[in-house]
Structure 1
């Protein structure tokens, strides 16, 4: 298995009970555009996107199956989605009631440590309803964002990386396509990684970062934290 730094994928080795397991990533999928009053489907996957490995939900790492997914509306109110286990993914839906940009997100620190590292899996994506520019504000410190639109082959796509709303420069963003292609891009002074999309289909981008930190988590001591943050978008 390929090690991935994945939004949905910084892939690291997890030491679990004397055995090594590859760390995958969580990513959300939903249409980038929706209509007011019509149900919008949301899916949650876990695996290695670039190698088309989708884990059965029964094989998801630690307690990832208990993650929660939220939708932030343009008026900044938030709803929690009800998830249905479909075997290969978790499924939900919501119905937009106003125009604007909605934000779907999940963030879940897993119960089990990987060695002495505490892991957190995060994914988010934006959905445009109507033409209003009123936009939901993220509740996450780090954000990996792509405009809520349908892209075409040959387009240049801007992937934004921010922390507390400020651009993060000089960091790696891993972009993956369903074709098995992947490439790492560096963010510029505005926190933007500009990427070329050469194939149709779904793309997943990820930023992974780790920090020295110490504490106790579910009764176990840790000395570092790792977070993988993903987003996805479609190309026609």
Structure 2
């Protein structure tokens, strides 16, 4: 009996952890004019090195995402993705110098019922951002998520990252921000009254910023009622 309870507990924990997955973008932060820039889209739990396989059931549920690149002049171009084993890949070639913003958005995810975990019935809205700098002159990244949460990179130096978190185009004050680095290293910060947050990057490695916001607005999606919307944005720095 104890063994059965243990197995059941492990199953519930695994199911709940699958909810804690996120979508994120990986691309080289430095680009060159006329040179192909590769962009990868992942779904999983980067804290533990988990990346779901594209053909698996978990990734299938979040496959209806859109991927765009926005140049320094604000021109927005859709990127076509191709499936690989554990990520989708897209490519673009910068035409001019400046700051390019790669943006993923996914607001087409079925309602999830997690009342058994005391989390409720909710709809998920994923968003992800990455910056590609072409040339030395750096500008703030573009923000294009008017219906959810996003992050704008307004950094002035390479070693210190300064971000502004926005929700429906308004500064999100006093909101938790998590910074993840390899080997399970995590730092939790909070935005100030104007939605800004800063942190140093002492190591030459990948940093992933994760920010969530619970919008207490009920609704219906695909004929299923939900109690709130769980918004999540990730920002990757390579």
Q: Among 212, 216, 228, which residue is 1:208 paired with?
A: 212
CA contact (8 A) 2:54 2:60 kept: no
Counterpart in 1 of 2:9?
Answer: none
Structure 1 147/131 Cα, relative in aligned 2: closer, same or farther at 3 Å? same
Structure 2 counterparts to residues 1-236 of structure 1, below 5 A: 20=16, 22-23=18-19, 24-59=21-56, 60-61=58-59, 63-115=61-113, 116-132=121-137, 137-141=142-146, 142-146=149-153, 151=158, 155-234=159-238
Structure 2: runs of 5 or more not aligned: 1-11, 114-120
SS in 1 for 2:218: strand
Moved runs in structure 1, 4+ residues, more than 4 A? Answer: 132-136, 147-151
Post-superposition CA distance 1:137-168 (Å, at most 9, x none) = 322133223358994xxx43223212355432
Structure showing greater Rg: 2
Structure 1: runs of 5 or more not aligned: 1-14
Report the TM-score when normalising by structure 1. 0.81
- Write the distance in 1 (CA, Å) between the matches of 2:84 and 2:139: 33
CA contact (8 A) 1:32 1:150 kept: no
Post-superposition CA distance 1:142-200 (Å, at most 9, x none) = 3223358994xxx4322321235543221110110122111210112342222233433
Q: Tell me the matched-pair count.
A: 214
Higher relative CO (Cα under 8 Å, sequence separation at least 6) belongs to: 1
Give the alignment's Cα RMSD to 1 decimal.
2.4
Structure 1 149/95 Cα, relative in aligned 2: closer, same or farther at 3 Å? farther
- Write the distance in 1 (CA, Å) between the matches of 2:87 and 2:81: 10
